[in-house]
Amino acid sequence: MNGGDNKDILILAIESSCDETAASVVKNGRYVLSNIISSQIALHTLYGGVVPEIASRKHIENIDSVIQQALKEANVTLDDIDAIGVTYGPGLVGALLVGLAEAKALAFATDKPLVGVHHIEGHISANYIQNVNFEPPYMALVVSGGHTNLVYVSDYGKFEIMGATRDDAAGEAFDKVARVIGMGYPGGPKIEKAARNGNKDAIQFPHVFLEDGSYDFSFSGLKSAVLNYVNKMKMTGQKIVPEDVAASFQYSVIDVLVKKTIKSAKEKGITKIAMAGGVASNSTLREAMKAACDKNGFSLNIPAPILCTDNAAMIGSAAYYEYIAGRRDGLELNAVPNLKLGERI
């Protein structure tokens, strides 16, 4: 790393907003030198979902070694790092605070700049890592456990929310339906796997598009429809075929996500689509979006599955673009559990 105008910028990024303790070193916002993820999923599975208090404690236990590993694997020391990026919202407050306190302590001890990152801006930025030539403007479908958004990204860090879920997020719907049909947590990957052996046309669940022209989403009605179906079958002594329920449910979600994404891009007159968030690792959704993009002559960028679910490399990419745009945070930066995308706190 030499001086001069073209010096590489290395970000040490930290992510702890939910049930993954993660740290990463990212070069120039695009090149991942290390990406360490310590998942707590196995632990939370025992309880059927994320237990916030347990998540915070596990983050505390793991964060130091995760950061050490990230530096070691990147073959750098803290001296080589230009700035420390950290997720400060949205997420579980106790979980966020662990990563944030660590990032602040490191920034203070090393006298390096601190850059707070919005978790969803991170998810979207995973696209810059996946494809080093990928640039705004584009339409991003963000589908995670806590969020479902159609976001028009006009430039780095510039977001226009075209639509959002009015109730459950897409990932949340996968998790809840998985519970109803006895598949456990986390539901997404389990539903995807079961759906491969099911018939998507077996059960007619609602495909909820809301009012004409709306880019919002609603998945709670679909969740209730699955619940009602399962109860009705039980009460009439009929056996459900979990694979068919999974496939039919998944089809309802994917159909709406794909159609609304294509429509919103058309409205904005753009032909570049991106996907982000844990649900974007779903291969059936990826295939359906690809087919729709091909049909419309749109290009599609999707991060590899490991960059779709929570990780710190995506936070490092977002932090880089915030850093070069001049964002610097003080040690008073606090966790903001319901932070809005594009909001500066």
Q: Which of 186, 198, 303, 316 binds ligand KG4 (CB under 6 A)?
A: 186
Site size toward ligand KG4 (CB under 6 A) is 20
Q: CA–CA separation, 136 vs 117, rounded Å?
A: 18
Q: Which of 168, 244, 310, 322 binds Zn ion (CB under 5 A)?
A: 310
Q: Which of 49, 52, 113, 189 binds ligand KG4 (CB under 6 A)?
A: 189
Q: CA–CA separation, 290 vs 37, rounded Å?
A: 28
Any bridge partners for residue 22, and if so which?
Answer: 15, 37
Minimum distance of Zn ion from residue 119's CB (angstroms): 6
282 binds ligand KG4 (CB under 6 A): yes
Interacting stretch for ligand KG4, rule CB under 6 A, among 57-65, 166-174, 227-235, 239-247? Answer: 166-174
Q: Which of 34, 62, 144, 252 binds Zn ion (CB under 5 A)?
A: 144
Residue 212 has which token pair?
């004409």
User: Using CB atoms, what's the residue nearest to ligand KG4?
Assistant: 188
Q: CA–CA separation, 81 vs 94, rounded Å?
A: 26
144 binds ligand KG4 (CB under 6 A): yes
Q: CA–CA separation, 161 vs 147, rounded Å?
A: 12
HSE-CB at 86 with a 13 A cutoff on CA atoms is 30
Segment 220 to 279, residues that bind ligand KG4, using CB under 6 A: 277-279
- The answer to whether 73 touches 36, Cβ cutoff 8 Å, is yes
DSSP symbol at 198: S
Interacting stretch for ligand KG4, rule CB under 6 A, among 27-35, 172-180, 237-245, 321-329? Answer: 172-180
Interacting stretch for ligand KG4, rule CB under 6 A, among 30-38, 159-167, 184-192, 326-334? Answer: 184-192
Minimum distance of ligand KG4 from residue 247's CB (angstroms): 13
Q: Cα separations (Å) of 222 from 144, 147, 186, 207, 251? A: 17, 17, 18, 8, 11
322 binds ligand KG4 (CB under 6 A): no
* Residue number with CB closer to Zn ion (144 or 301): 144
Residue 308, exposed/middle/buried by CB under 10 A (0-12, 13-18, 19+)?
A: buried
DSSP 210-257: -STT---B--HHHHHHHHHHHHHHHHTTPPP-HHHHHHHHHHHHHHHH
Q: Which of 281, 313, 329, 339 binds ligand KG4 (CB under 6 A)?
A: 281
Interacting stretch for Zn ion, rule CB under 5 A, among 127-135, 141-149, 200-208, 227-235? Answer: 141-149
Contacts of 235 (CB under 8 A, 6+ apart): none
- The answer to whether 172 touches 219, Cβ cutoff 8 Å, is yes
Interacting stretch for ligand KG4, rule CB under 6 A, among 43-51, 79-87, 141-149, 315-323? Answer: 141-149
Minimum distance of ligand KG4 from residue 281's CB (angstroms): 5
- Chain residues in the site for ligand KG4 (CB under 6 A): 18, 144-146, 171-172, 174-175, 186-189, 192, 277-279, 281-282, 309-310
- Chain residues in the site for Zn ion (CB under 5 A): 144, 310
